[in-house]
């Protein structure tokens, strides 16, 4: 799965590319209201889309649903332009951590009064929290995905390691040490996998940045974050992952498919890619949640995924809410989760994916899901990404405290730049 807020957070204003936005206005005597919806590539399968459209229009014959699939490339600019226009679509799917930057402009509809009706008490925090801005709920949780541990069942068995008994980080470390021998990498962990580091930081009670009375401050130099980096360093050393690159250079799936790698941290869909690249591994890949500090709580994870928003300028506000209530509702969430191996938007729906080992494991971790700092300026931090440079510096032996202070200052400056 693409990391929505990771992959594309540029927001330069685009003045073209709005073809297909709603131009029908409200309903009229000539027929039902045309509802224009933008969903993202790979958000739904063609089969699910057809099933949902048919079911929705049967239940709401006064609405003619028109779903347009958008590409992630350039979507930030396109959404920004749509929100600034008088011809916006009625509903837009956006990356969960993109909501704040769109809400800041005043271009989104506030759904704070609808949270209870939509089942907000059960929403995943990693979708709901970034969907809010300054105390108001603009983004409605749609679906989630997060990282798990994908492991080679044959290598675990050969080493005498039982994955079901790995519940804590220390147990995980001990098992990985046992696996890391005889030509096997205990784990493949690139040095700049900062989303995994973020989970360790949250486990320690820290964060990447904190809001101190309206002023944001980088927090990698706190004791909590430094402990997290120390654990990351210990884990990363039990494999041959590069210290100066992330999951995409080289692609993790390629490394695992070609070599003797016992574990990798990725979304469950990565297992399918690995098996496709090396068919001999089909049936030899299992999953377990990233372990936490204690056995009773899974490790914290970054929650990737999407929220649904309605432009304030959308002409069909009532119909847009009807669409969101349906797609984000329990019945369709269960079907979507099974169809796409996603985590449903509510914690009480986790059993919907019990028959899918990867998705079920992902749902366990999602209960302890988090989002990046909820500020429109976080996009600029990711663009520079001093966290990656910091991680590499520590892994090659530089002073962690000094490097953390440097990275934190960079984050502080960017978050308060106002640009």
Contact between 61 and 347 (Cβ < 8 Å): no
Separation between Cα atoms, residue 230 and residue 224, nearest integer Å: 10
CATH number for domain 4-146+303-370, candidates 3.30.465.10, 3.30.2350.10, 3.40.190.10, 3.40.50.300: 3.40.190.10
Instruction: Kindly state the tokens that stand for 1.
Output: 């799965």
The total of other beta-carbon atoms located within 10 Å of residue 65's CB is 22
Separation between Cα atoms, residue 299 and residue 414, nearest integer Å: 29
Contact between 62 and 93 (Cβ < 8 Å): no
CATH superfamily membership of 148-300+385-415: Periplasmic binding protein-like II (3.40.190.10)
- For 119-150, write each residue's pLDDT tens digit: 999 999 999 999 999 999 999 999 999 999 99
pLDDT at 14: 29
For the purposes of burial, counting CB atoms within 10 Å of the CB of 286, is it exposed (0-12), middle (13-18) or buried (19 or more)? buried
C-alpha Rg value of the chain to the nearest Å: 22
- CB contact set of 131 (below 8 Å; sequence gap of 6+): 96, 99, 137, 138, 139, 140, 141, 307
Instruction: Kindly state the tokens that stand for 262.
Output: 């016992």
In this predicted structure, the answer to whether residue 198 has a pLDDT above a threshold of 60 is yes
Tell me the C-alpha to C-alpha distance, in Å, between residue 398 and each of 82, 197, 265, 402. Answer: 46, 17, 25, 8
- Among residues 116, 39, 56, 1, the alpha carbon closest in space to that of 335 is found at 56
pLDDT at 269: 86
Domain boundaries, the chain: 4-146+303-370, 148-300+385-415
Q: Tell me if 4-146+303-370 shares its fold with 148-300+385-415.
A: yes
- For 226-255, write each residue's pLDDT tens digit: 999 999 999 999 999 999 999 988 999 999
The pTM of the full predicted model, rounded to 2 decimals, is 0.81
The confidence band for 3, taking pLDDT boundaries of 50, 70 and 90, is very low
- For 43-57, write each residue's pLDDT tens digit: 898 999 999 999 999
């Amino acid at each position: 799965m693409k990391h929505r807020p990771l992959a594309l957070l540029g927001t330069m204003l685009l003045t073209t590319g709005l073809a297909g936005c709603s131009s029908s206005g409200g309903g009229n005597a000539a027929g039902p209201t045309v509802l224009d919806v933008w969903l993202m590539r790979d958000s739904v399968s063609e089969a699910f889309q057809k099933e949902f459209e048919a079911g929705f229009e049967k239940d709401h014959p006064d609405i003619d649903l028109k779903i347009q699939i958008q590409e992630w490339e350039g979507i930030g600019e396109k959404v920004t332009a749509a929100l600034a226009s008088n011809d916006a679509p009625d509903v837009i799917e956006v990356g969960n951590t993109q909501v704040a930057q769109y809400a800041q402009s005043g271009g989104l509809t506030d759904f704070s009064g609808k949270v209870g009706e939509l089942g907000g008490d059960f929403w995943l925090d990693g979708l709901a929290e970034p969907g809010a801005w300054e105390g108001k709920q603009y983004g409605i949780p749609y679906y989630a995905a997060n990282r798990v541990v994908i492991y080679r069942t044959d290598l675990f068995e050969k080493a005498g390691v039982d994955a079901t008994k790995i519940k804590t980080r220390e147990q995980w470390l001990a098992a990985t040490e046992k696996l890391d021998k005889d030509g096997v990498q205990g784990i493949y962990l690139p040095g700049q996998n900062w989303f995994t580091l973020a989970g360790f930081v949250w486990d320690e009670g820290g964060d990447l940045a904190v809001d101190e009375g309206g002023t944001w401050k980088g927090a990698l130099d706190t004791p909590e974050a430094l402990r997290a980096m120390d654990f990351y360093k210990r884990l990363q050393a039990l494999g041959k992952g590069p210290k100066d690159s992330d999951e995409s250079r080289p692609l993790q799936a390629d490394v695992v498919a070609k070599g003797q790698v016992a574990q990798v941290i990725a979304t469950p869909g990565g297992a399918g890619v690995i098996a496709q690249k090396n068919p001999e591994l089909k049936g030899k890949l299992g999953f377990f949640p990233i372990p936490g500090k204690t056995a009773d709580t899974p490790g914290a994870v970054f929650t990737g995924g999407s929220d649904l928003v309605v432009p304030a300028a959308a002409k069909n506000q009532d119909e847009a809410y009807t669409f969101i209530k349906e797609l984000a509702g329990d019945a369709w969430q269960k079907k979507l989760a099974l169809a796409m191996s996603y985590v449903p938007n509510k914690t009480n729906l986790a059993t919907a994916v019990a028959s899918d080992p990867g998705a079920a494991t992902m749902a366990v971790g999602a209960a302890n899901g988090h989002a990046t700092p909820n500020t429109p300026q976080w996009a600029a931090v990711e663009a520079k990404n001093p966290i990656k440079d910091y991680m590499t510096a520590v892994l090659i032996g530089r002073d962690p405290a000094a490097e953390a202070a440097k990275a934190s200052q960079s984050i502080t400056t960017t978050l308060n730049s106002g640009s």
